[in-house]
Chain A
Amino acid sequence: MSVQSLYGVASLIATTLASLVPGVPGYLVTLLADLIFGAILLAASMINTIVLIWYERKLLGRFMDRRGAMHVGYAGLLQNFADGLKLFRKNTYMPSEADRLGFYTGPTAYMVSSLVIFGVLPISTGWDNGSLPLSLLLALVIFSFAPLFIFISAWSSNNKYSLMGGMRSAAQMIAYEVPILIAVVAVVVVSGSFDLTTIVMEQQNYWFAIPLVLALIVFVAGMLAEMERIPFDLPEAEAELVEGWNTEYGGMLFAFFMLADYLRALIGSILIVLLFLGGWTLPTYVPSALTNFPLAGIFWFMVKTYLVFGVFVWVRASLPRVRTDQLLRVGWLRMVPLALASVVLAAALVVVKCLPLIGCVPGIGS
């Protein structure tokens, strides 16, 4: 019973609770541990998401020469919790001509499918929820469910803006799913594994961002489109589509969309950190004092994730929204060849076993 992992913490709580009541069968203890594990994961991901919204508001404020949320909690930290409470209390209206089933299942499924991905993402050594040999593939597959649910909720809203937003969302996500997956192939070629834990462990000597910088660029651009953030926020374009596919949603259903958007932004940042920036590890040649304190892995993981998200906010603050034709042309005509080139480059690296600037590194392509 180790507290060196999240499931260890959950089962420790479960056994402690079970020991209070004599004669509890073992499978109930396991079930309780599973539930506690899920609850902890849910709470951690939701709190991180809400803090992420706060982080974006503060950063964006500085980019726009203002201060962002200021008054609720320290530096406005609790502002988004207050906003969430407000949305939770609001009544939810449905257009009279809308399709009831799709209208309610769309946001819920969008939210749930985004939450499920947290189950397969490793956070630190031992905190990886069981090593899955295909966890990267599983995460990307669940990640790409989203256009379907967006399209369901857009279509069932019975609103032309929603439907157009849903159409754009579907077109955009399919256009960028392809280069993302090809860029991931480059990582897989170099690391030789679909397991996220193994991929991180392969980056002990150097981060994949250095040799696979092409794949990183493609992956970041694709992730921006997948998360529907500026400059690729065509499906939500406020000025032209009135918030796009969530025009008709209010109250907690809107909060589901909002939270799921930021959940997906968090997952995108985490994936970039895991695939390209060494996850929770630092390169072996940095001083060991930096990695030799309790929960150092989780600390560095969070720092990197928030820095990567900061870059997304930076992009949002800088760039204008692209047109649909520009978006699709860049997606199909630029990103796909770039991703293919990065795969070729990765294959060449594995054959030569040398990095352009760092030199020959033992372990590459092993």
Chain B
Amino acid sequence: MAASAKPKEEESPNPVLWVARPMATAARQFVKSLVRPSTIVYPFERLEDPKFRDQVRVESGHPIGIGEVWDNYRGVHALNIATCISCNLCAFSCPDLCIEMVTVPGGDPKHPKKCPQIDYGKCSYCGFCSDACPEGCLTMTTRYELSVSRRPEMVFSPQKLHEVFERKLPMNPIRVERPENEDAIRLDAPLCIGCNACARDCPTNCITMVDTPKPTAKPGEKLPRRIWKEPVVNDSDCVRCGTCISVCPKECLFWGTHP
């Protein structure tokens, strides 16, 4: 006969397992937390305070110093207006379209100086702008406190970004390794009309207009009406911003490979 007809008796809770051990664990945690709880009272004390120095380490093992957070932290941008060349590369590279180039005092009336204005409501802190900046004047600092009370205050004007720069916060220079002079500005010479727009708008003044010999017209042929000059790009000074390509009225400038 089958001897297993008896239903299995439900186990009653084991007092050691269910009461004593959890209470001992909780008591140990209580005593530990009484000395120093893990919570940091944030606005009044910060992780980078010296007293937390032994507690907080970045993954690479470097302790964080005073006023610093992780050394690869991407926080508020810092802009050095003085070295900005208005090349527009930051605004081009921004995936969130949060950078707008606004006029700042300092340029001449023909070439107004334009510097980035960043809307932190849109910014995703990807760092592409800092990477793209050819002069290293737009960098990301490790400042992480950015709360404002009104939405328009989220838009940081170039002057405000310059104030961040003047605070000399620890910078996070974002540089992606890539081959030097990968490509360069090339000219489709027959289309050029020598209008000087590229040289005029070049932020680094690396384009010079050189004279080209005016061809002699064959009989019956009509020479195009143009200025007999052509842009020559100094590749070592060029920052590859593409301003000349975008301003060229005849679309005769293009990206080509470096010779």
Contact = CB atoms under 8 A, between A and B. Distances in A.
Interface of A: 59, 61-67, 70, 314-315, 317-320, 322, 326, 329-330
24 contacts: A62-B30, A62-B33, A63-B30, A63-B33, A64-B29, A64-B33, A65-B32, A65-B33, A65-B39, A66-B33, A66-B39, A67-B37, A67-B41, A70-B41, A314-B26, A314-B30, A317-B26, A317-B30, A318-B23, A319-B18, A319-B22, A320-B22, A326-B13, A329-B12
Interface of B: 12-13, 18-19, 22-23, 25-27, 29-30, 32-34, 37-39, 41
Given A63-B26, A66-B33, A326-B12, 14 more contacts: A62-B30, A65-B33, A65-B37, A65-B38, A66-B39, A70-B41, A314-B26, A315-B23, A317-B26, A318-B25, A319-B19, A319-B23, A322-B13, A330-B13
A64 B26 CA distance: 8
A329 B34 CA distance: 37
A13 B37 CA distance: 47
Nearest to B39: A66
Given A319-B18, A319-B23, A62 B13 contact: no
B21 to A, nearest CB: 9
Contacts of A65: 29, 32-33, 37-39
A319 B37 CA distance: 21
A315 B38 CA distance: 22
B26 A318 contact: yes
Contacts of A329: 12
Chain A interface SS verdict (over half)? helix
Contacts of A59: 30
A59 B37 CA distance: 12
Contacts of A62: 30, 33-34, 37
A279 B156 CA distance: 66
Contacts of B27: 314
A320 B23 CA distance: 11
Contacts of B23: 314-315, 318-319
Contacts, number: 49
Contacts of A315: 23
B29 A63 contact: yes
Nearest to B41: A70
Contacts of B26: 63, 314, 317-318
A314 B38 CA distance: 19
Contact of A66 (B22, B32, B37): B37
Nearest to B32: A65
A329 B11 CA distance: 12
Contacts of B38: 65-66
A261 to B, nearest CB: 22
A67 B19 CA distance: 25
Nearest to B24: A318
Given A315-B23, A319-B22, A67 B39 contact: yes
Contacts of A317: 26, 30
A320 B22 CA distance: 9
A168 B22 CA distance: 26
Contacts of A61: 37
Contacts of B33: 62-66
A286 B89 CA distance: 82
A161 B212 CA distance: 91
A65 B25 CA distance: 12
Closest A-B pairs by Cβ, 6 of them: A318-B26, A318-B22, A318-B23, A66-B39, A62-B33, A65-B33
Contacts of A318: 19, 22-23, 25-26
Nearest to A70: B41
Nearest to B13: A326
B81 to A, nearest CB: 40
B55 to A, nearest CB: 13
A104 to B, nearest CB: 39
A322 B12 CA distance: 11
A213 B138 CA distance: 73
Contacts of B13: 322, 326, 330
B170 to A, nearest CB: 30
Nearest to B25: A318
Contacts of A64: 29, 33
Nearest to A334: B12
Contacts of A67: 37, 39, 41
A320 B26 CA distance: 12
A62 B37 CA distance: 7
